[in-house]
Structure 1
Amino acid sequence: MIKNLISHLRELQAYRAVLQQLVMQQLILRYRRTTLGFFWTLINPLAMMSVMALVFATLFKADLQTFTVFLFAGMIPWNFFSSVVTQSAHAFINNEGLIKKIYLPKIIFPLSIASAFLIDSVLSFLALFSIILIIGGSLSWAVLFIPIAYLMLFFFALGIGLITSVATVFFRDLQFVILIAMQGVFFLTPILYKHDALVGKVAWLVGLNPAVPFIELFRAPLYQASLPSPGVILQAALISLSAMAIGLFVFLRQEKIIVFRLWVEMSSIRVESLSIKFRIYHDRSPSLKSYFANLFRQQRQAAYSNFWAVKDVSFEVKAGDRVGIVGHNGAGKSTLLKALCRVYESSDGKISVDGRIAPLLEVGAGFHIEFTGRENIYLNGAILGYTKQQLQGIEPEVITFAELEEFIDTPVKYYSTGMYMRLAFSLATAMHPDILVLDEIFAGGDAAFMVKA
């Protein structure tokens, strides 16, 4: 294992330029095309924490200036840790296209996530220093310990991140479990309250939280103007090294399997003897008079006849396959695709789909013409099953890929067919769906976009 670890360190040195680019990519895409750009890295968390400080200082009847420093000193390291753990859960899944086609040290993906959030967090702390000075506070020499605190927190977060990144490759649902779990851990971490104010079983339960000593590493220099106690430093160091060791052990044991698990977890479609029957109604606008008159006729006219749009179709699409369905107009191509996307139920036979489908069956489906392009990203994204948090993360990427920067806040009723198509395709593919179903969608796109897509 030691030789394997040394080999990985050498590879990271050789691929350091790739690591730098991945880190910059995450930082740039997060706030690209916004007026303030990278400054949102500071404004977002500081604004949120300012509101929390005002609310909880009022609830706890605490001095606002003192409580602001207390809260910020706990929230900034927590935000870093929480972001690394939750985002690392997507590290390999979101980059499966690269992992399956190009060789890169796989550890580079969770490492780039941790590094990007480290930069965010350090900048937030620099802003906190400014806030402390502005509100009349002072900084002691103990703040020189913060880089050491960051080093220990970085290894702790990265170690846990390595575990979550590997685990979600095997169990995709874990990425949602981790989000819920981190919300629970937040309230078991003394961020809004002091640890020594707790008593009984609650104090014992919070004491089991491995994140607690790391909060103390940051809070002592800023809030108490002193170094953390030797016991806290030792405890944090042991937890940090243990988490990193366990994370590396899990990663190195499963590294060679990850690429195969990504293939296994990819989509597959199996269609067995599928038939779809439509009813063709003869009277398209029946009245009550004609309906009751038909009831008393000796020879009633059939209300409808059956039409088999798809008859006894069987095929299988394996992971990684690209399949095109060719046929003349009316052959049932679109009907078959809609059946795969569960728009139509099968009359006979069976459809088995293993994976998440992103359907693009008709340009503008799921869009509201009075909404802007940006508003439709959230509307259509919700229809596709994505959360608001996920959509906020991919919004800049969707807008850039669709080439709609200048028109994203324009109602889509003024969009051309090509603009509709680019926005729909960019949104459907931004979350890396398992299965992408297209029904002549590129009829509205130009040659350049088809090449890019």
Structure 2
Amino acid sequence: MIRLVRELYQYRGLLLSLVQRELKARYRGSFLGFLWTFLNPTLHMLVYVLLFTVVMRQNIPNYPFFMFVGLLPWIWFSTSIGGGASAISDRRDLLTKVRFPAQVLPTTVVVTNLCNFVFSLPLMLGLGIAYGQWPTWHVVLFPAVLLVQLIFTLALTYILAAINVTFRDLQHIVGNLITLWFFASPVLYPFSTIQDENIRTLMTALNPMVTLMTSYQAMFYEHRLPEAGPLLVLAAVSVALLYGASSIFESRREEFAESI
């Protein structure tokens, strides 16, 4: 893992260049261009608000804001996992070059989506203010929660990207699993609505996104600090997972150019 981090720092200029290119190219040719960074999560929110407030009639105060708080980090996670799975297998043009750092490719996907997440934060804060939900001092832990999600997302992306080089069906499986994962995470509903304590404990243990979603909601919607225990456990698990992911990635890196 230390080697991976060291090489990412060494090639930080290349990483920055690729991220800038991805951000510019993402909506190139579209009429609204960069505005889609804000429109995509907003349109997602409107669809779910219509479903859960009109059709299913959820009685959650300021529901659009509640959902938006969880939806933005979820979009960052899901698009990173979905795009990161094929980050290596889709870039034969780069990997066949001499000594191209393969680890930069999945990192580019995650960091690009992180930038979109950060760019969308003013929209989330503005929506909260519109509902009278002003940010409080509890958001000081936002960078820590964001860092935990970054480490966890990078680890999972490295593993999927490395395996997908030889098992191309994985990227399609991941797309379907992300949909299931979304509804198993408290994005559209408060975690408190699950009354059975055993189920809550099991979900927290098996689904890392439960801890992340409830942490964001605690800071921005409930105006309290996230629960330290689950967050620290997830941080430790994410670091361990990144260590394992970097080992898997390193062991398969020499095969990438030949396999794709």
TM-score, normalised by the number of residues in structure 2: 0.91
Identify the structure with bigger relative contact order (alpha carbons < 8 Å, sequence gap 6+). 2
1:140 is aligned to 2:136: yes
**Pick aligned residue for 1:60 from 34, 57, 61:** 57
1:176 is aligned to 2:172: yes
**Pick aligned residue for 1:165 from 161, 164, 167:** 161
1:154 is aligned to 2:134: no
Q: For residues 128 and 84 of structure 1, what CA distance do their matches in structure 2 show?
A: 20
Q: For residues 82 and 232 of structure 2, what CA distance do their matches in structure 1 show?
A: 26
**Pick aligned residue for 1:17 from 13, 20, 25:** 13
Kindly state the Cα deviation for residue 137 of structure 1 after the two structures are TM-superposed. Answer: 2.3
Query: Is the CA contact 2:65–2:131 (under 8 Å) kept in the aligned structure 1?
Result: no
Kindly state the Cα deviation for residue 190 of structure 1 after the two structures are TM-superposed. Answer: 1.2
1:72 is aligned to 2:72: no
* Residue aligning to 2:203: 206
Identity %: 28
**Pick aligned residue for 2:227 from 220, 226, 229:** 229
**Pick aligned residue for 2:191 from 181, 189, 195:** 195
Extract unaligned runs of 5+ from structure 2: none
Q: For residues 185 and 56 of structure 1, what CA distance do their matches in structure 2 show?
A: 18
Extract unaligned runs of 5+ from structure 1: 263-453
* Residue aligning to 1:249: 247
CA 1:210–1:14: 2 relative to 1, 3 Å: closer
The amino acid across from 1:241 in the alignment is: V
The amino acid across from 1:226 in the alignment is: R
Kindly state the Cα deviation for residue 205 of structure 1 after the two structures are TM-superposed. Answer: 5.0
Q: For residues 58 and 168 of structure 2, what CA distance do their matches in structure 1 show?
A: 44
**Pick aligned residue for 1:42 from 13, 38, 42:** 38
Kindly state the Cα deviation for residue 199 of structure 1 after the two structures are TM-superposed. Answer: 4.1
The amino acid across from 1:147 in the alignment is: P
Query: Is the CA contact 2:191–2:214 (under 8 Å) kept in the aligned structure 1?
Result: no
Q: For residues 154 and 44 of structure 1, what CA distance do their matches in structure 2 show?
A: 21
Q: For residues 54 and 135 of structure 1, what CA distance do their matches in structure 2 show?
A: 17
SS of the residue corresponding to residue 25 of structure 1 reads helix
Per-residue Cα deviation, 1:6-43 (whole angstroms, up to 9, x for no partner): 3x444333322211121112111111122321121111
The amino acid across from 1:131 in the alignment is: L
Q: For residues 252 and 54 of structure 1, what CA distance do their matches in structure 2 show?
A: 46
Kindly state the Cα deviation for residue 51 of structure 1 after the two structures are TM-superposed. Answer: 2.8
Aligned length: 257
Q: For residues 70 and 47 of structure 1, what CA distance do their matches in structure 2 show?
A: 15
Q: For residues 10 and 177 of structure 1, what CA distance do their matches in structure 2 show?
A: 32
The amino acid across from 1:118 in the alignment is: L
Q: For residues 175 and 95 of structure 1, what CA distance do their matches in structure 2 show?
A: 14
1:238 is aligned to 2:231: no
The amino acid across from 2:86 in the alignment is: H
Kindly state the Cα deviation for residue 233 of structure 1 after the two structures are TM-superposed. Answer: 2.1
Query: Is the CA contact 2:136–2:223 (under 8 Å) kept in the aligned structure 1?
Result: yes
The amino acid across from 1:259 in the alignment is: A
* Residue aligning to 2:122: 126
- Runs of 4+ in structure 1 deviating by more than 3 angstroms, as ranges, are 8-11, 199-205
Q: For residues 9 and 209 of structure 1, what CA distance do their matches in structure 2 show?
A: 26
Deviates more, 1:239-248 or 1:149-158: 239-248
The amino acid across from 1:62 in the alignment is: N
Larger fraction in helix: 2
Task: Specify the structure having the higher radius of gyration (Cα).
Answer: 1
CA 1:66–1:258: 2 relative to 1, 3 Å: same
Give the alignment of 1:372-391 within 5 angstroms.
Answer: none
Query: Is the CA contact 1:213–1:235 (under 8 Å) kept in the aligned structure 2?
Result: no
1:31 is aligned to 2:27: yes
SS of the residue corresponding to residue 224 of structure 1 reads coil
Larger fraction in strand: 1
* Residue aligning to 1:316: none
Per-residue Cα deviation, 1:67-111 (whole angstroms, up to 9, x for no partner): 122111111111111111111111111111210134211100001
Query: Is the CA contact 1:110–1:161 (under 8 Å) kept in the aligned structure 2?
Result: yes
Q: For residues 110 and 46 of structure 1, what CA distance do their matches in structure 2 show?
A: 26
Q: For residues 210 and 137 of structure 1, what CA distance do their matches in structure 2 show?
A: 26
Q: For residues 184 and 61 of structure 1, what CA distance do their matches in structure 2 show?
A: 21
Per-residue Cα deviation, 1:380-400 (whole angstroms, up to 9, x for no partner): xxxxxxxxxxxxxxxxxxxxx
Per-residue Cα deviation, 1:191-235 (whole angstroms, up to 9, x for no partner): 112223224575455332122111122111011101101113212
Per-residue Cα deviation, 1:325-356 (whole angstroms, up to 9, x for no partner): xxxxxxxxxxxxxxxxxxxxxxxxxxxxxxxx
Q: For residues 61 and 254 of structure 1, what CA distance do their matches in structure 2 show?
A: 48
Kindly state the Cα deviation for residue 168 of structure 1 after the two structures are TM-superposed. Answer: 0.4
